[in-house]
Structure 1
Amino acid sequence: MSGGHVIALSGGIGGAKLALGLDRVLAPGQLTVIANTGDDFRHLGLHISPDIDTLLYTLAGLDDPAKGWGRRDESWTFMRALAELGGETWFQLGDGDLATHVERTRRLGEGESLSQVTDALRRRLGIGSAIVPMSDDPVATRVNTDEGWLDFQHYFVRRRCEPRVSGLDFVGAGEARLAPEAAAAFRAPGLRAVVLCPSNPYLSVDPILAVPGLRAALERCAAPVIAVSPIIAGQAVKGPTAKMMTELGLEPGAATVARHYGGLIDAFVIDAADAGLAIAGLTVAATPTLMRSLDDRMRLARFVLALADRLAGARA
């Protein structure tokens, strides 16, 4: 099956890499990326959507390949001036990035939904794939640590993931509604696949799954649902996934991630370094998953789509 719509669930950096590969191998309009917004927060009076912005910048070719976040060729006049005034500088906002937050905050203040604002931004940036928030309602990821409960960005950025994690909470998720565009994507005729990108399962994917209706949509989805492991040989490619798993009493490995998604996925893609892993009742496929280049991203995207097509063909 070479046509059909594809849904990707994604957090920031790791997920955005595969989302870019999918965007490049699919025709414009064939991909909907449902983005985690549990990381969203208010800072300096602005509405910041870190994972949405990483996806926007990555798919538009504007991302900073060195940092992995923010825009490339960024300038920092605003942050220097803010520091001179004694303002909070722990969360870095480049001048170009700042414009995104200012425009988002302005439009939200005028009554547009986060979905509407995000769609307007991706169109202005020339992105053919849809990028939609998991919900237009606020959901806030909080992390329980040995220093007490911390808002996500204070744990992740301000404290650099140093506190020991003992639990997570997605405040507001129970009352949130699945964004209309996200719900519509699951009803699209000829849905080809749903892909859980290699984002942190606990910090990036679980907030999406916590929105009422999302798990049910995956469980009744007729198309193959495939997750890609963010763990290679027991190590996270980037971020605190392995550290967090250890602190939560979990074995940091691909098998643990597969079990975490148990009942929601039909297949699990692991790195070649973990080849030989078997999970009862689950198709496991191994391939190089480290995405250093655009070619790597596109190759992995094609592998995942081919796997989905094989699974769909076996069901027919």
Structure 2
Amino acid sequence: MKITVLSGGVGGARFTRGLLAHLATTRSDRGGGTSAEVTVIANTGDDMWLHGVRICPDLDTLMYTLGGGVHEDQGWGRAGESRRTSSELSHYDVDSEWFTLGDLDLATHLARTGLLRSGQTLSQVTERLCRRWEPGVRLLPMTDQEVETHVVVDAAAGGTRLLHFEEWWVRHRAALPARAFVQVGLESASAAPGVVAALLDADVVVLPPSNPVVSIGTILAVPGIWEALVATAAPVVGISPIVGGAAVRGMADACLRAIGVETSAAAVARHYGRREAGGVLDAWLIDTVDADAAAGLRSDGWRVGVAPTLMTDVPATAEIAARALKLVVTGHPA
């Protein structure tokens, strides 16, 4: 089975780790039968230049999480991290206090930047870095071109101004009301090599509980990706990032509010849309606390599964992945 996952950072990485755990159990139960191939297409809209290095937060979170090196409590960054370089930079008054680079993490950014400047593409560099981490998936950036998500916010002197998404998210904790999101560089971008084929050739496509606006939404905005998702013969299943009217992690509610979408499991499903009605989903998995929403979605033609969806640990996440696959592979409710 070929499974393709569209992923942001922490939520997508943790889901994929659970998916791999589920697939490993399935192989074991079947006596080590044919293994699944998992491809992860990562959002790179959060990428930015800082201190002369190229930072790819979602790609790195996926590598570290799937490769066993992530700081588990944070969900991002390296385990056993130190901050000596950032501390020293602060003495030169050039440190970015709102985005601190750890020493181990900085090594990844230095390696990436050097390889990019040698003429390699982001796809080639990502493949090279994955040799270190062996994530157990084929990890692809959504595009090799630089596409950076910026946020339109009110300016103090009137009018509006643009902030890089990471500054809005990390420095301001999404407290500045977002008027819109702009993907700078999107107009000249194209899907990275292998991305469209990974969607068209998949047996199942999964949209994990990543931010539907600035993670999954940014991936879908890359020319060619939405079209491939609509065209693929594979069923497409999504897992709601909203439980009980609140974002499970991060500040997805602020992003949804900015584009006029209610913070609810049902509203996010309708934001993605059913493929039969011009959207991208064939099925939607929601948490048990949102079970009341299932009837309304089903009456509108949705295939809906209801199950516990909080990724509390790897076994719980493996069960979520199993239920999502069951929803589209067997056609039975999760």
TM bucket (normalised to shorter chain) is over 0.9
Aligned residues: CA RMSD: 1.6
1:294 matched to which residue of 2?
A: 314
Q: Report the secondary structure of 1:161's partner residue.
A: coil
Q: Give deviations 1:215-274, integer Å, cap 9, x for gaps.
A: 111111111101111000100011111133234443211111001101110001111110
Aligned counterparts of 2:154 and 2:10: Cα–Cα separation in 1: 26
User: Does the 8 Å CA contact 1:29/1:130 hold for their aligned counterparts?
Assistant: no
Q: How many angstroms does 1:29 deviate by?
A: 6.3
User: Does the 8 Å CA contact 2:200/2:232 hold for their aligned counterparts?
Assistant: no
Identify the match of residue 198 of structure 1 among 209, 225, 229.
209
TM-score relative to the length of structure 1: 0.93
1:50 matched to which residue of 2?
A: 57
Q: Report the secondary structure of 1:180's partner residue.
A: coil
TM-score relative to the length of structure 2: 0.88
Q: Report the secondary structure of 2:179's partner residue.
A: strand
Aligned counterparts of 1:247 and 1:126: Cα–Cα separation in 2: 37
Change in 2 beyond 3 A, CA 1:212/1:249: closer
Identify the match of residue 191 of structure 2 among 171, 178, 186.
178
Q: Give deviations 1:186-219, integer Å, cap 9, x for gaps.
A: 243xx22100111111111111001111111111
| One-letter amino acid of the counterpart of residue 92, structure 1 | T
Identify the match of residue 9 of structure 2 among 12, 23, 26.
12
Aligned counterparts of 1:166 and 1:252: Cα–Cα separation in 2: 17
Change in 2 beyond 3 A, CA 1:118/1:310: same
Aligned counterparts of 2:9 and 2:147: Cα–Cα separation in 1: 16
2:70 corresponds to 1:63: yes
Aligned counterparts of 1:69 and 1:98: Cα–Cα separation in 2: 13
Q: Report the secondary structure of 1:202's partner residue.
A: coil
User: Does the 8 Å CA contact 1:272/1:286 hold for their aligned counterparts?
Assistant: yes
Q: Report the secondary structure of 1:26's partner residue.
A: helix
Identity of aligned residues (%): 43
- Displacement over 6 Å in runs of 4+: none
Q: Give deviations 1:65-109, integer Å, cap 9, x for gaps.
A: 111210111111111111122112321111110000000000011
Change in 2 beyond 3 A, CA 1:209/1:247: closer
| One-letter amino acid of the counterpart of residue 280, structure 2 | L
Aligned counterparts of 1:176 and 1:193: Cα–Cα separation in 2: 25
User: Does the 8 Å CA contact 1:192/1:308 hold for their aligned counterparts?
Assistant: no
User: Does the 8 Å CA contact 1:29/1:128 hold for their aligned counterparts?
Assistant: no
Q: Give deviations 1:133-173, integer Å, cap 9, x for gaps.
A: 00001111111122432111111112221100111111222
| One-letter amino acid of the counterpart of residue 107, structure 2 | A
Q: Give deviations 1:23-47, integer Å, cap 9, x for gaps.
A: 2333666100000000111000000
User: How many residues are matched?
Assistant: 308
| One-letter amino acid of the counterpart of residue 294, structure 1 | V
Identify the match of residue 80 of structure 1 among 76, 87, 92.
87
Aligned counterparts of 1:37 and 1:248: Cα–Cα separation in 2: 20
Question: Which sections of structure 2, spanning at least 5 residues, go unmatched?
Answer: 25-34, 156-160, 274-278
User: Does the 8 Å CA contact 1:42/1:48 hold for their aligned counterparts?
Assistant: yes
Aligned counterparts of 1:226 and 1:173: Cα–Cα separation in 2: 26
Aligned counterparts of 2:210 and 2:189: Cα–Cα separation in 1: 21
Aligned counterparts of 2:204 and 2:20: Cα–Cα separation in 1: 14
2:41 corresponds to 1:21: no
